[in-house]
Chains A and B, each alone.
Chain A
């Protein structure tokens, strides 16, 4: 008996590398027109999205981005590997073209949208944000992306939408840890409250350092929520659902006492096994003191109002 599994990819669906490159060029051309409005020659060469992108409203002017090679070789991508180095090479087998995102649930215009079509509607900007991992290290990343709210508004959320659930790609044939059913329940799931999702700081990123996202960093589309620990910023998103009730998220399900739904960066709420008071900034050398972690990762001015009257120690 032949059991046809979901993993079988018909030969017709495997993208010819030439067509793949062509598509990338088409996306780039579209991005160029998006960016052209700003009046710069944004697409300088075939490799980059553009180095002269307009800056996002909350882009940190005083933040110095961490060296790109550090960011590209230090990723927590458990679908590929449990260490931070191996996913750099393993992630290259991920298929990201074509890519589409399903938007469903409490919205007026549910549907499956091709990434090209999504990007055609959005203005890409550069957002330099600090990224703070729950493991007490941080880096500064110049993301390229757009506000999630702009995408959500375009599909018209209903008033009943109170939470947003994000789901990562399920590609066990390319992802060894998914294939082995290791650790977390796959695919990876994250979630936000609707007001967090609609906050202008919250991004969907498609690039960093003026280039498309490297696969290990979450290509082709990832979430960036700078005031929360990094595990909230889910990679390789294929589904966005607007829900009435809070979704069950991956790390929270794995260890609810350690990883809360909110996961707001907070130096005075320690992880049960380690302190969150300070962080090692990537790129800083030996004999450099650790950085003192800031409440909401330094974005308190923008987001603290979302959590007034909330006990942050209880809702960690």
Chain B
């Protein structure tokens, strides 16, 4: 079953833009509450993190369902994670700080929670820049190694999230649980593939 050339594909592309439209609507109708700029950060950051989780969920789903051709979706969701993360960063620099670099610099240096956000974005940026078939060919074996950094990115994103909170940890804990399962799946696969080698040794 090939998902690439059927009707699901364009709908997925459009569907991933709904959170953005929803946000634009809420901004236009002043629905973001007393601190709309913080609400903007949370909204965009949430969606970047959600798309990272969805991206990581594609491989396990493929394994369980034995569907073929889902790697295009993995790439699409990954690019959307990059898209929302970029808006999140732009929101911080422009909507919040209006490019006051001195304040931005001090804010980043003094806020350890932002370091994790910077790390996560740096990785996602690199992955997005090397997503093309051309880059994949050129990088050869190291492409796969590079793209495994998504695991670090998603962990950094969750730390970035909960490290800034004063109290309520319910939501970041939920993401932590999701990531635990997604990474746990990979750990199990890795262990399973490793065992025969050990036996032969």
Within 8 A of B (CB), among A83-104: 83-85
Q: Check A85/B103 contact, CB under 8 A, given A183-B167, A289-B97.
A: no
Task: Please give me the 10 A-B residue pairs with the lowest Cβ-Cβ distance, nearest first.
Answer: A275-B110, A82-B168, A74-B34, A70-B34, A270-B110, A274-B111, A289-B98, A286-B95, A277-B106, A275-B107
Is the pair A282, B34 in contact by a Cβ cutoff of 8 Å? yes
Within 8 A of A (CB), among B147-173: 163-164, 166-168
Does A292 count as interface, using CB distance less than 8 angstroms? yes
Residues of A within 8 A of B166 (CB): 134-135
User: Which of B2-10, B35-43, B58-66, B174-182 touches A?
Assistant: B35-43
Does A316 count as interface, using CB distance less than 8 angstroms? no
Report how far A285 CA is from B40 CA in the complex, Å.
12
Is the pair A287, B94 in contact by a Cβ cutoff of 8 Å? yes
Report how far A74 CA is from B39 CA in the complex, Å.
12
| Interface class of chain A by DSSP | loop
Does B100 count as interface, using CB distance less than 8 angstroms? yes
Which residue, B38, B103, B167, has most C-beta atoms of chain A within 10 A?
B167
| Interface class of chain B by DSSP | helix
Is the pair B164, A280 in contact by a Cβ cutoff of 8 Å? no
Interface size on B, residues (CB 8 A): 28
Residues of B within 8 A of A6 (CB): none
Residues of B within 8 A of A71 (CB): 34
Q: Which residues of B contact A (CB under 8 A)?
A: 27, 33-38, 40, 94-98, 100, 103, 106-107, 109-114, 163-164, 166-168
Contact mask A268-288 → B, CB, 8 Å, 1/0?
A: 001011111110101001111
Q: How many A-B residue pairs have CB under 8 A?
A: 73
What would be 17 A-B contacts, judged by CB atoms less than 8 Å apart? A69-B34, A74-B33, A83-B168, A85-B33, A137-B38, A270-B110, A273-B113, A275-B110, A275-B111, A276-B110, A277-B103, A277-B107, A278-B106, A280-B96, A282-B35, A290-B97, A292-B103
Is the pair A272, B112 in contact by a Cβ cutoff of 8 Å? yes
Report how far A285 CA is from B164 CA in the complex, Å.
22
Residues of A within 8 A of B34 (CB): 69-71, 73-74, 84, 282
Residues of A within 8 A of B168 (CB): 82-83
CB-nearest residue of chain B to A83: B168
Does A262 count as interface, using CB distance less than 8 angstroms? no
Residues of A within 8 A of B33 (CB): 73-74, 84-85
Residues of A within 8 A of B112 (CB): 272-274
Q: A69-B34, A277-B110 are in contact. List 18 more A-B contacts (CB 8 A).
A: A71-B34, A73-B34, A85-B33, A137-B38, A273-B111, A273-B112, A274-B114, A275-B111, A276-B110, A277-B103, A278-B106, A278-B107, A280-B37, A282-B34, A287-B98, A289-B98, A289-B100, A290-B96
Nearest CB in chain A: distance from B79 CB, A: 26
Residues of B within 8 A of A69 (CB): 34
Report how far A273 CA is from B115 CA in the complex, Å.
10
CB-nearest residue of chain A to B91: A286
